[in-house]
Amino acid sequence: MSRILKHPAQSVNTVEQLPPSPGQLARTRAWSHRGFQIGTGILILLILVAIFAPYLAPHHPFQQSLPNRLLPPVWVEGGNWTYPLGTDQVGRDYLSRLIYGTRVSITIGLSAATIGLLIGVTLGVLAGYFGGWVDHAVSFLLTTQLALPGLLLAMALVFFIGPSLIVVICIIGVLHWTYFLVVTRSATQHIRSLDFVAAARASGASSRQIIWHEILPNLSSKIIVIFTFELGIAILAEASLSFLGVGIQAPTPSWGLMIAEGKEAIFYRPWLVVLPGMFLFVLVIGANLMGDGLRDITSPEEKS
Amino acid sequence: MLNYILQRVGLAIAVAFTVSLAAFLLLNIATDPAYAIAGEEADPEVIEQIRIRYGLDRPLWVRYLDWLTGVLRGDFGVSYYWNKPVATLVAERVGTTLTLAFSALFVTIAIAIPLGAAAALNRNTWVDRLALWLAVSAQAVPNFWLGLILIILFAVMIPIFPVSGDHTWLHFVLPAFVLGASSVPPVMRLMRTGLIEVMGSDYIRTARAKGYRGQTLLLRHALRNALLPVVSVLAVQLGQKVGGSVITESIFAINGLGRLALQSILGADIPTVQILIFLFALVFVAMNLLADILNAALDPRIRIR
Amino acid sequence: MPLLNVENLSVRLPVPSGWLHAVHEMSFSLEQGEALAIVGESGSGKSMTALSLMRLLPPNARLTADTLRMGQDDLLSMPDAQFADRVQGGRIGMIFQEPMTSLNPVYTIGRQMSEAAIRLGRLDAQAAHRRAVSLLDRVGIPEPGARMGQYPHQMSGGQRQRVMIAMALMLEPELLIADEPTTALDVTVQAQIMALLAELRHETGMAMILISHDLAVVSQTTDRAAVMYCGEMLEQGRTSDVLARARHPYTGALLRAIPTIDGERRRLAAIPGTVEAQFAPPEACVFAPRCAEAMPACMHARPPIQGPAHHWARCVLDKPTPPAEAPARALFQPDPKTADDAAMIEARNITKIYHLNAGFFSPKKQIRAVDDVSLMVRRGETMALVGESGSGKSTLARIMLGLVDPSSGSVSLQGQDIAGMPDSARARLVQPIFQDPYSSLNPRRTVAEIIARPLHLRGVGASERLRRAREMMDMVGLPSRLQHSYPLNLSGGQRQRIAIARAMINNPEVLICDEPTSALDVSVQAQILNLLSDLQAEFGLTTLIITHDMAVVHQLASRVAVLLQGRLVEQGPASRVLCAPEDAYTRALLQAAPRFDTAALAAGAGA
């Protein structure tokens, strides 16, 4: 076979540089994206707090001490350093409970978001790729799911089935796959219409091979972005359920539950409500900043 | 266009009833209503009597059809907990919730649309950054916590607005704000990206080539195109507010459908819960339909084929 | 006194790494009623020049010029408000490339046409309406009165462009800037629009600046031409002078790289390399990296202007010496004696019907994308499939590739029906080259992975795949250092080469190319067409090329088939069809094809 080199793709009189890969470009963008760095930093920090909770918390979160009930945090008159952020109605150290609370929120958030991902992405890719009746069925399922009042249904199910960790995770996960579905489905439809998928079919690839090799790699960055947002949503969902009394039950330290417990004393001891809320706020904003940052980094043309 | 609307209506009805079926199945499989009525520690015989008395011994599909035909006749069943017809319970509270929902929508529109537009027109300036940071923060704030913080502020520190009850319009200010704030981030972002896209479009370039600029360009040529998708999203948001009022109503002690829902769940009042889920779904579906119709009415590309 | 006087116009755009110099010290003038063409490829700065005259540049662009005057008005220093009211639309009108998106979809045609005149107080509502209707009539829109109340989406692309022209004329501008007005339109429509513009110019005495990449179109319709490359104006003069006696090597190279519909077939002289963006003000000749006649002097300083004012070029050389033209490779002709020479690929009575779902309550609509088409390509032949948009040519291509099932009819490869063939066997027989180089490569895979994917599907090992991929890259002229790069920053030409390599690694018998070069720059098109032609000769490939360009047919094809709205209207040897077409539509296509007005070019020789 002779070589056909008469039409070189580069200029005759200059030397071209190797173009950067998408990964390199993304890393460069990540280095200068303030929001992404802050968000990821917060998230990593709180995950570490969750993992090392036993070493960080000064007391055991369940340990009651009735003589020391309702102590204020250290910067308010009456507070002391033994209980830096004060105590709750039965004398448990607030700082320790807040630290252990990261475990609850992060575990439930990650697990529920993963369940949502598995359901939503699978349905989305199938609906987007195969179209036809599959798409119609999935669309109907989607509309039905969206019409269901999620919080209400979650409350009812958790209450009736029984509030355990697994139940809460599963129910939140099963009610939060719609965002994954919508984005994955339209992205799959778009990718499927591109010529490189047609070229793959012309080379003899089967549907399974195409979905795995051509479509999923082009979806991965979108899916990760949605995962971070759903993480925040799942965390807030658990907090809402626990606040209403149909989520995590006492004495486990869930931040939402702590806010509910502190609600009674809200006027004289506002820290009982303010502190857990701040932790929730920081964790979720970390996840959201990371998600926004990831979106800007991986597809700068969609920057919003 | 008529075709389009009829199709959407058919779909809406189908969805509403599928939802009712799903809810019925989930609720009646998750728990045994007889236990709920009798209480945890009742004797097995008492439970069995209750089962027969309330017709809970019949097969599931019979009970569903019974419920369905009742609903179509206007009979919403009787609450186990309050011992009143569910329809009465709903009628007493529906006005309050609707007031709250519309007020919340007003709050969302008043904040999100101007902010989103300002951000789009002043990209990468402090206005834009402020808007984005506001959106990110509002998305991260747990709405029940926001409600409680506002209660602390306005009951303790600056007592202007009442924080409990629903007799006067002032009572609705804080709850409307809390309920509306949660919708601000997505609507603001939509407005912003939509307007950015429109301002960069070819037809705006044509308008500029004809000498349009500044405010005239925006108002006459860009705004209508940018608002198109926002209008339908707002309709859907309104539908979600009706169902999402549970937390807000509970915190501010507003006697609406949301609070009723919470009380019914905690009181194991399945008929009420069932009806409320169905109603909320119906409202959402109706709002979706409204969104589709608005879209078709405002967008000539859909209105005229 | 010239109507428009531009001296040393420069436009810079901020980019992360500094400034992109889109236009550099451009100068030209325009007389009343004159038509000037600004010609160039992508990145030449021609569109930027037009936008800068109308103050339509992006807000962060920097515009500088020594002079920018239109008659008494100083366009450079005029305040924005005055510019908007006086110049935009009033003195200068502009029409753009994409008629499908240039009109506001939510307002009626009537409103969009009248609003500018009403806003400026030139006409009241009724007078504006009347004028709009008469203009719509003038530009050839049937039932203009009814159209005033319609919306843009109810009109075709050609009609929308006519509306744009009518709209631009509402305020009676002295100058019309047309930025690639016909690039997005079919050839027959293109001819009509260009004829319309010429007529309007004669009637109103309007001057015109035509931005185009198509030298043939320019030759027919303009008085003077300016050739741009990488932001610099390299040559300027009377159109006939510039095209017949080009002073700059770039212009000459461009002319030799374009396939023509007339004259002898010759080998297209490709320009090696690609267009480079200028991130610094040029300190040398911008074309030197790709110029066959480049000398050391070209790289040291910006070349001086050579030649008289009415025809000059920015070049070190006084007169370029074009290389001798090589004759084209002989086209494969089937041996008439072996009449039943087995067809390599044959389509029999292919019909494809699409059903449109209009809703539950109205009848389903049918579209016959392909209507009973039969054609056959013999081994080694190149057949061109010609058609405009809506002709069904792409659908037919995909059916022949086995990617879409026909509603009826069959396709056979080497006598075997494609329908029953396993995918892997079919892949070894027929491979595609698609039109859009930006969507035909998976952005998440490296070049080597993309090329070797067919081997991967067959279970070939990793090292062997890499070896074969490199072999293919050599064959298509891609430097091997790109093997682990991603398509992200590669040019259109490089991407098409990758697509060709990927197709060839299957060792196919048949290549089906769907408009393989229409999305590429002119200078790169020739590279790819030559590559395809060489591959075909080397490997005895049977090729089906889908194109709308009759010039490409003339260059490459031995046989032609013409499609109109899904039906085959003519088929036969290319030489016969191009000279003596039998079908009226084919005649119309040939008539409309832009060609160099050789008579006019020759006539201008004496002046």
Residue C518 Cα, gap to closest chain B Cα (Å): 23
DSSP category for residue B83: -
- Which chain A residue is nearest to residue C501, measuring alpha carbons? A4
Please tell me which residue, C328 or C372, carries the higher pLDDT value.
C372
User: Can you give the pLDDT at residue B294?
Assistant: 87
Residue C569 Cα, gap to closest chain A Cα (Å): 28
- Which chain A residue is nearest to residue B154, measuring alpha carbons? A267
Confidence of residue C115 (pLDDT cuts 50, 70, 90): very high
Asked if C415 contacts C407 with a C-beta cutoff of 8 angstroms, the reply is no
Asked if C433 contacts C511 with a C-beta cutoff of 8 angstroms, the reply is yes
Longest Cα–Cα distance of chain A, Å, equals 93
Confidence of residue C365 (pLDDT cuts 50, 70, 90): confident
Residues in CB range of A17: below 8 A, 6 or more apart: none
Confidence of residue C475 (pLDDT cuts 50, 70, 90): very high
Question: Which tokens sit at A271?
Answer: 């820290």
Residues A266, B250: C-beta atoms closer than 8 Å: no
Residues A202, C273: C-beta atoms closer than 8 Å: no
Q: Answer whether residue C404 shows pLDDT above 80.
A: yes
CA dihedral B155, B158, B159, B164 (to 10 degrees): -30
Q: Answer whether residue A270 shows pLDDT above 70.
A: yes
Residue B208 Cα, gap to closest chain C Cα (Å): 7
Residues written for chain B: 305
Residue from C83, C104, C113 to probe the interface with B (highest B Cβ count within 10 Å): C104
User: Can you give the pLDDT at residue C360?
Assistant: 55
Residue C504 Cα, gap to closest chain A Cα (Å): 11
Over its C-alpha atoms, chain A yields an Rg (Å, rounded) of: 25
Average pLDDT over residues C170-194: 92
Q: Answer whether residue C334 shows pLDDT above 70.
A: no
User: Can you give the pLDDT at residue C545?
Assistant: 94
Q: Answer whether residue C339 shows pLDDT above 50.
A: no
Q: What is the mean pLDDT of each run of 10 residues along chain B (305 residues)?
A: 81 87 84 71 77 78 85 82 86 90 94 93 89 90 91 80 78 90 92 92 93 88 91 88 87 89 87 88 88 87 79
Average pLDDT over residues C266-286: 82
Measured distance CA(A39)–CA(A51) in Å, rounded:
18
Residue closest to C75 by CA, chosen among C13, C179, C5: C5
- Which chain C residue is nearest to residue B302, measuring alpha carbons? C153
Q: What is the separation of C-alpha A173 from the centre of its chain, rounded to a whole number of angstroms?
A: 11
Measured distance CA(A84)–CA(A73) in Å, rounded:
6
- Which chain C residue is nearest to residue A191, measuring alpha carbons? C439
Q: Answer whether residue C432 shows pLDDT above 90.
A: yes
Residues 278-317 of C with CB under 8 A from A: 288-292, 294
Chain B residues within an 8 Å CB radius of A289: 136
Question: A94-302 maps to which CATH number?
Answer: 1.10.3720.10
Asked if C498 contacts C448 with a C-beta cutoff of 8 angstroms, the reply is no
Residues in CB range of A268: below 8 A, 6 or more apart: none
Residues C477, A5: C-beta atoms closer than 8 Å: yes
User: Can you give the pLDDT at residue A5?
Assistant: 47
Domain ranges of chain A: 94-302
Asked if C56 contacts B209 with a C-beta cutoff of 8 angstroms, the reply is yes
User: Can you give the pLDDT at residue A16?
Assistant: 56
User: Can you give the pLDDT at residue C601?
Assistant: 59
Please tell me which residue, C310 or C601, carries the higher pLDDT value.
C310
DSSP C328-348: PPPPP---TTSTTPPEEEEEE
Asked if C123 reaches chain B (Cβ–Cβ under 8 Å), the answer is: no
Asked if A190 contacts C418 with a C-beta cutoff of 8 angstroms, the reply is no
User: Can you give the pLDDT at residue B226?
Assistant: 92
Q: Which residue pairs from C286-290 have beta carbons closer than 8 angstroms and sit at least 24 positions apart in sequence? A: C286/C229, C286/C230, C286/C231, C286/C232, C286/C234, C287/C229, C287/C230, C287/C234, C287/C248, C287/C249, C287/C250, C288/A13, C289/A11, C289/A12, C289/A13, C289/A14, C290/A11, C290/A12, C290/A13, C290/C523
Chain C residues within an 8 Å CB radius of B211: 84-85, 87-90, 116, 119-120
Nearest to B6 among C103, C105, C360 (CB): C360
Asked if C607 contacts C308 with a C-beta cutoff of 8 angstroms, the reply is no
User: Can you give the pLDDT at residue B40?
Assistant: 65
Asked if A82 reaches chain C (Cβ–Cβ under 8 Å), the answer is: no
Question: Which tokens sit at C460?
Answer: 């070939």
Measured distance CA(C432)–CA(A199) in Å, rounded:
7
Chain B residues within an 8 Å CB radius of A268: none
The helix or strand, by DSSP H or E, that contains position C235, with its residue range, turns out to be strand C232-238
Residues C105, B221: C-beta atoms closer than 8 Å: no
Q: Answer whether residue C78 shows pLDDT above 80.
A: yes
Average pLDDT over residues C470-478: 92
Residues A18, C454: C-beta atoms closer than 8 Å: no
Residues facing residue C73 across a β-bridge:
C70
**CA distances (Å), C569 to each of C316, C346, C375, C581, C585, in order?**
52, 17, 12, 11, 8
Please tell me which residue, A197 or A23, carries the higher pLDDT value.
A197
Asked if B253 contacts B100 with a C-beta cutoff of 8 angstroms, the reply is no
Asked if C557 contacts C545 with a C-beta cutoff of 8 angstroms, the reply is yes
Over its C-alpha atoms, chain B yields an Rg (Å, rounded) of: 24
Average pLDDT over residues C48-63: 92
Q: How many C-beta neighbours within 10 Å does residue A5 have?
A: 10
Average pLDDT over residues A18-47: 85
Find where tokens 């206005």 sit.
Answer: B127
3-class state of residue B268 by DSSP: coil
Q: How many C-beta neighbours within 10 Å does residue C553 have?
A: 28
Measured distance CA(C542)–CA(C379) in Å, rounded:
5
Please tell me which residue, C10 or C283, carries the higher pLDDT value.
C10
pLDDT digits (tens, 9 = 90+) for C197-247: 999 999 999 999 999 998 888 988 899 999 999 999 999 999 998 988 888
The helix or strand, by DSSP H or E, that contains position C564, with its residue range, turns out to be strand C559-564
Measured distance CA(C238)–CA(C247) in Å, rounded:
12
Question: Which tokens sit at B218?
Answer: 């925006």
Residues A204, C427: C-beta atoms closer than 8 Å: yes
Nearest to C358 among B3, B213, B225 (CB): B3
Residue closest to C165 by CA, chosen among C191, C130, C201: C201
Residue A42 Cα, gap to closest chain C Cα (Å): 29
**CA distances (Å), B192 to each of A292, B114, B241, in order?**
15, 10, 22
Domain ranges of chain B: 89-264
Chain B residues within an 8 Å CB radius of A153: 23, 26, 277
Residues C454, A204: C-beta atoms closer than 8 Å: yes
Measured distance CA(C200)–CA(C192) in Å, rounded:
12
Residues C96, B206: C-beta atoms closer than 8 Å: yes
Measured distance CA(C229)–CA(C238) in Å, rounded:
18
Confidence of residue A304 (pLDDT cuts 50, 70, 90): very low
Residue from B1, B204, B206 to probe the interface with C (highest C Cβ count within 10 Å): B206
Average pLDDT over residues C8-37: 91
Average pLDDT over residues C420-439: 92
Residues B142, A239: C-beta atoms closer than 8 Å: yes
User: Can you give the pLDDT at residue C597?
Assistant: 67
pLDDT digits (tens, 9 = 90+) for C502-518: 999 999 999 999 999 98
Chain A residues within an 8 Å CB radius of B141: 277, 281
Measured distance CA(B239)–CA(B173) in Å, rounded:
20
Residues B210, C115: C-beta atoms closer than 8 Å: yes
Measured distance CA(C214)–CA(C198) in Å, rounded:
17
Nearest to A203 among C291, C454, C491 (CB): C454
Find where tokens 């920053």 sit.
Answer: C489
Q: Which residues of A touch B (CB under 8 A)?
A: 35, 140, 143-144, 146-153, 155-157, 159-161, 232, 236, 239-240, 243-246, 256, 259, 263, 266-267, 270, 273-274, 276-277, 280-281, 284-285, 288-289, 292, 304
Residues in CB range of C418: below 8 A, 6 or more apart: C400, C402, C410, C411, C412, C426
Residue B182 Cα, gap to closest chain A Cα (Å): 12
Residue from C56, C92, C102 to probe the interface with B (highest B Cβ count within 10 Å): C102
Residues of chain A with pLDDT > 90, as a percent, come to: 52
The pTM score is: 0.88
Nearest to C96 among B4, B202, B220 (CB): B202
Residues 368-407 of C with CB under 8 A from A: 398, 401-403
Q: Which of A58-62, C164-168, C407-411, C426-430 has the lowest mean pLDDT?
A: A58-62
Asked if A294 contacts B146 with a C-beta cutoff of 8 angstroms, the reply is no
Asked if C426 reaches chain A (Cβ–Cβ under 8 Å), the answer is: yes
Measured distance CA(C397)–CA(C511) in Å, rounded:
10
User: Can you give the pLDDT at residue B49?
Assistant: 79
Nearest to B211 among C85, C102, C153 (CB): C85
Chain C residues within an 8 Å CB radius of A2: 538
Over its C-alpha atoms, chain C yields an Rg (Å, rounded) of: 26
Question: Which tokens sit at A240?
Answer: 């809402």
Confidence of residue C546 (pLDDT cuts 50, 70, 90): very high
Find where tokens 């429109």 sit.
Answer: B198
Q: Per CATH, which fold does B89-264 belong to?
A: MetI-like fold (1.10.3720)
Residue closest to C218 by CA, chosen among C253, C188, C180, C250: C180
Q: Which of A72-76, C207-211, C215-219, C594-598 has the lowest mean pLDDT?
A: C594-598
Q: In what order do the strands lie in the sheet with C343-356?
A: C365-378, C343-356, C408-413, C416-417
Encode C384-409 in three state secondary structure: EEECCCCCCHHHHHHHHHCCCCCCEE
The helix or strand, by DSSP H or E, that contains position B164, with its residue range, turns out to be none
Q: Which parts of chain B fold into alpha helices (H)?
A: 2-30, 33-38, 44-53, 60-73, 86-121, 126-140, 143-151, 173-181, 184-199, 202-209, 214-217, 223-243, 246-251, 257-266, 270-298, 300-303
